[in-house]
Amino acid sequence: MQSTLPKHDPLHVGIIMDGNGRWAAQHGLRRTAGHRQGAEAVRRTVEAAGELGIDVLTLYAFSADNWQRPSSEVRALMYLFEDFLSRERDRLVENDVRLNVIGRRDRLRPSIVSAIESSERATRACSSLLLRLAVDYSARWAIAAASRLGTQAAIGPVPDPVSDLTCRIERVTHSVAGVPPVDLLIRTSGEQRLSDFLLWESAYAELLFLPVLWPDFGPEQLATAVEDFHNRNRRFGRLPALAS
Ligand code: FPP
């Protein structure tokens, strides 16, 4: 898939949206109500992202391991996801947001795959923000599948093995090409683990674990997180004075 990313110092934020179930329990509601509020938090967060200088926002919406949840919860999540795609498409275009769904598509129901393809087509020319939703996503699966593709599958000339595998991971996950590595990786709900999310792309990501439950997340929390990120001293293995 062709890249429309800016050429200079893009900011890529990844978010593990955790805590919908606990939010629901705290409010005496069913887990699905927590996921519905979680979808509202997605809308708020996407709207705020562009204004905070974020170029790429990758949200972990459904992991490959989430298929193991009760079928009623999986159904509710898939419904919310499809609903988001159809309802938000025009608003994404208006706000110049390009949508890209990363992960496997062969296990999603055909209507969802159609909705993904339709939203990706409609927003293809948008360039203020690249919103990537990770659905049926597993970083380990992506790395393993990319490794099996064979070097001849790499797109165009590649300078080194790391760039080569990065291209192939983008290809097997249906990602837009040329996405920069993750700069800031946020997980909500107080848990401190990566849960198979963007393991390859987060090699030098700054990690931020926030106590807030995902349905309570929004522009204010995102702004504070970005500010925290800009105060970090990133060295990429070099000495401080030499690192950009
Ligand atoms: C983790 O919370 C969250 C998920 C597994 C699903 C994330 C889904 C959404 C935010 C809503 C739908 C998304 C879109 C893009 C419309 P959890 O259920 O594991 O919470 P818990 O750890 O408190 O039980």
pLDDT at 190: 98
With contact defined as beta carbons under 8 Å apart, do 55 and 10 qualify?
yes
Q: Is 65 a catalytic residue?
A: no
Q: Which of 66, 95, 216, 228 is catalytic?
A: 66
Which region among 107-116, 128-137, 141-150, 193-202 has the lowest average model confidence (pLDDT)? 141-150
Q: Is the pLDDT of residue 158 over 90?
A: no
- Any alpha helices (H) in the chain, and if so which ranges? 20-26, 31-51, 71-94, 110-122, 139-148, 161-172, 219-230
Q: Is the pLDDT of residue 66 over 80?
A: yes
Q: Is the pLDDT of residue 147 over 70?
A: yes
Identify the residue whose C-alpha is closest to ligand 1 atom 5: 62
What is the per-residue pLDDT across 73-113, written as a single tens digit (0 to 9) for each? Answer: 999 999 999 999 999 999 999 999 999 999 999 999 999 99
Q: What is the DSSP letter of 207?
A: E
Give the whole-angstrom CA distance, residue 31 versus residue 36.
9
What's the 173 CA to ligand 1 centre distance in angstroms?
20
Q: Is the pLDDT of residue 7 over 50?
A: no
pLDDT at 79: 97
Residues having CB closer than 6 A to ligand 1 are 17-22, 35, 38-39, 42, 61, 66, 77, 80-81, 84, 133, 189, 214
Q: What average pLDDT does the structure give for the chain?
A: 93
Identify the residue whose C-alpha is closest to ligand 1 atom 12: 39
List, as one string, the DSSP characters of 84-104.
HHHHHHHHHHHTTEEEEEES-
- What predicted TM-score, i.e. pTM, was given to this entire model? 0.93
